[in-house]
Amino acid sequence: MHSMQIRTGAKEAMIDITPRLEDLLKDQGTASGVMTVYTPHTTTGLTINEGADPDVCRDILAHLRTMVPQHAGFRHSEGNSDAHIKATLFGSSVQIIIHDGRLLLGTWQRVFLGEFDGPRTRTLWVKMLT
């Protein structure tokens, strides 16, 4: 298993972690299998979505803010209840097929860390099964 640190720079952001995952895959020399990426944080999430047009990420974040406003009368009183819900909507892990030594992603797909309670330094755990 491998871990990586990601420094987020804003309260909410979608950070493209695909290059970091590709570098790890290259360093490990894995030709075929499955990569699982997991976040142990309750206010971050992982997703695979379009990375070619930055407006897609902007739209996702804007609509998450509309769906789950920061101050909506939550019982959890730490001030980050919205972040927990947004992270749940994303999920805590993604799996990507490894084929011929590369991540098998669609033409426009990228892997994103969703930060909903930043800025912080986040840890991701990555496991490759062959």
pLDDT digits (tens, 9 = 90+) for 34-87: 999 999 999 999 999 999 999 999 999 999 999 998 888 888 888 899 999 999
- Whole-number pLDDT of residue 74: 84
Q: Could you count the other beta carbons within 10 Å of the beta carbon of residue 101? A: 12
Q: Could you count the other beta carbons within 10 Å of the beta carbon of residue 80? A: 18
- Whole-number pLDDT of residue 17: 99
- Whole-number pLDDT of residue 44: 99
Residue-range domains of the chain with CATH: 2-129 (2.60.120.460)
The whole-model pTM stands at 0.96
**3 has pLDDT over 90:** yes
pLDDT tens track for 11-36: 999 999 999 999 999 999 999 999 99
- Whole-number pLDDT of residue 83: 97
Distant-in-sequence, close-in-space partners of 13: CB < 8 Å, separation ≥ 6: 61, 114, 115, 118
Residue-by-residue DSSP string for 28-97: HT--SEEEEEE---TTEEEEEEE-S-HHHHHHHHHHHHHHS-S-S--S--SS-HHHHHHHHHH-SEEEEE
